[in-house]
């Protein structure tokens, strides 16, 4: 029987979201399904182990977490990473998972998780898609000098999430220098991105869900009294369509992402500008349904093309 382990962050109870819906769907299709905690990964002799629980029935929102068992990760045919867990152990976890990546199919690929999750790679593909001019440094003064050319800028961490530490600044802003200093840290040991401000973001951005390289659903997010269109920062969401141009663009981007091993992605679009590719646990499944759209879970599984071996 094919089997899959979802790797998630520690949680007090079962919560509605990607692992609940995707796990239930695969269980119903005859897969062995386990839900495991990403930060419990360890090495035992030559085995990579993790703690988690197997499903013998569908999960419901609010269910308590069953007693945890320890599994050898290479018994699973697929692993689906839906959290990176603690930041400090990111490299160790990637290296531990890499050691079994020739035996287990990992969604999304470790290349994707390592490189598309950061915003550096995106800035170096001008032939593939539009991405704002981007500078990165641990030296706040270097970044401060760059922004003296004028205009509006975004300063943010290279691999942050949920809109945390994303600042809108200009050279006229007396806070600009201290914001860059704070982001780089007192010991100047944290990288900071300085990015040209994308005009039009204030009208909202489209979150497009891509599965197996194909756009399958989308909605618009619009911030209120904030420059960040993140739902976690109070932005509102509404249903929207993709224009024919946007659809063609997303299909081309989907092919590029699939080649990279990115099978389930949330892309943030202010056409033609890409804000980011969300490759770890992209939100959208629950939001689209709450907005009156369909539950896309089965379509995600179909498009990724899980096959029984």
Q: By the criterion CB under 6 A, which residues form the site for ligand ADP? A: 132, 154, 156, 160-164, 166, 195, 197-198, 201, 205, 227-230, 268, 275-276
The interface partner of residue 229, options being ligand ADP, Mg ion, none and the CB cut-off 5 to 8 Å by kind, is: ligand ADP
Among Mg ion, ligand ADP, none, what does residue 32 contact (CB within 5–8 Å per kind)? Answer: none
Distances (CA, A) of 146 to 123, 155, 274, 275: 16, 12, 22, 20
Name which of ligand ADP, Mg ion, none residue 228 binds, using a CB cut-off of 5 to 8 Å depending on partner kind: ligand ADP
Among Mg ion, ligand ADP, none, residue 201 binds (CB under 5-8 Å by kind): ligand ADP
Positive or negative: CA dihedral 230, 281, 134, 207: negative
Q: Which is nearer to Mg ion, 19 or 277 (CB)?
A: 277
Among Mg ion, ligand ADP, none, partner that 192 touches (CB below 5 to 8 angstroms by kind): none
| Identity of the residue, 103 or 232, whose beta carbon is nearer to ligand ADP in the bound complex | 232
- Residues 233/226, Cβ–Cβ less than 8 Å: yes
Q: How far apart are the first and last CA of the chain?
A: 8
Q: CB 57 → Mg ion: shortest distance, Å?
A: 35
Smallest distance, Mg ion to C-beta of residue 253, A: 16
Cβ within 8 Å of residue 14, ≥6 positions away: 20, 59, 60, 61, 62, 63, 64, 65
| Residue 276 vs 303, nearer CB to Mg ion | 276
State phi, psi for 39 to the nearest 5 degrees.
-85, 5
Shortest spacing between CB 133 and ligand ADP, in angstroms: 9
Residue nearest to Mg ion (CB): 276
User: CA gyration radius for the chain?
Assistant: 20
User: Among residues 93 and 156, whose Cβ is nearest to ligand ADP?
Assistant: 156
* Contact assessment for residue 183 and residue 169, using Cβ atoms and an 8 Å cutoff: no
Burial zone of 74 (CB within 10 Å; 0-12 exposed, 13-18 middle, 19+ buried): middle
What is the 3-state composition of the chain as percent helix, strand, coil, each rounded to the nearest 5? 30, 30, 40
Total number of residues binding Mg ion (CB under 5 A)? Answer: 1
CA atoms within 13 A on the CB side of 154: 22
Q: Residue 112 binds which one of ligand ADP, Mg ion, none, with CB within 5 to 8 A depending on kind?
A: none
Distance CA 227, CA 249 (A): 25
Instruction: State the binding partner of 203 from ligand ADP, Mg ion, none, CB within 5 to 8 A by kind.
Output: none
Q: Shortest approach of ligand ADP to residue 200 CB, angstroms?
A: 9
Distance CA 161, CA 142 (A): 24
Query: How far apart are CB 286 and ligand ADP at their closest, in Å?
Result: 17
Find the binding residues for Mg ion in span 264-303 (CB under 5 A).
276
Pick the closer one to ligand ADP by CB: 209 or 275. Answer: 275
Which residue's CB is nearer to Mg ion, number 207 or number 258?
207
Write down the least CB distance from residue 217 to Mg ion, Å.
17
Which residues contact Mg ion by CB under 5 A?
Answer: 276
């Amino acid at each position: 029987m094919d089997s899959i382990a979802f790797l998630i962050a520690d949680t007090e109870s079962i919560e509605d979201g990607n692992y609940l819906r995707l796990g239930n769907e695969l269980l119903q299709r005859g897969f062995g399904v386990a839900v495991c905690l990403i930060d419990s990964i360890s090495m035992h002799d030559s085995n990579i182990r993790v703690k988690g629980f197997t499903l013998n029935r569908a999960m419901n929102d609010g269910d308590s977490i069953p007693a945890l068992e320890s599994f050898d990760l290479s018994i699973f045919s697929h692993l689906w990473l839906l959290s990176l867990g603690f930041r400090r152990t990111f490299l160790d976890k990637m290296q531990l998972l890499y050691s079994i990546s020739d035996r287990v199919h990992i969604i999304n690929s470790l290349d994707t998780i390592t490189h598309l999750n950061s915003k550096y790679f995106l800035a170096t593909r001008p032939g593939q898609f539009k991405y704002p001019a981007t500078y990165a440094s641990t030296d706040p003064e270097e970044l401060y000098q760059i922004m003296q050319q004028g205009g509006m800028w975004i300063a943010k961490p290279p691999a942050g999430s949920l809109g945390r530490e994303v600042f809108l600044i200009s050279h006229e802003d007396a806070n600009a220098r201290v914001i860059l200093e704070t982001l780089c840290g007192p010991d100047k040991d944290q990288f900071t991105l300085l990015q040209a401000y994308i005009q039009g973001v204030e009208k909202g951005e489209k979150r497009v869900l891509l599965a197996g390289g194909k756009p399958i659903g989308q909605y618009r997010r619009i911030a209120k009294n904030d420059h960040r269109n993140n739902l976690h920062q109070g932005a509102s969401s509404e249903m929207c369509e993709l224009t024919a141009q946007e659809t063609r663009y997303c299909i081309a981007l989907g092919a590029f992402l699939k080649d990279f091993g990115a099978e389930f992605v949330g892309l943030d679009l202010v056409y033609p500008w890409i804000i980011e590719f969300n490759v770890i646990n992209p939100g959208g499944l629950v939001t689209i349904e709450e907005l009156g759209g369909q539950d896309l879970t089965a379509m995600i599984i179909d498009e990724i093309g899980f096959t029984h071996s």
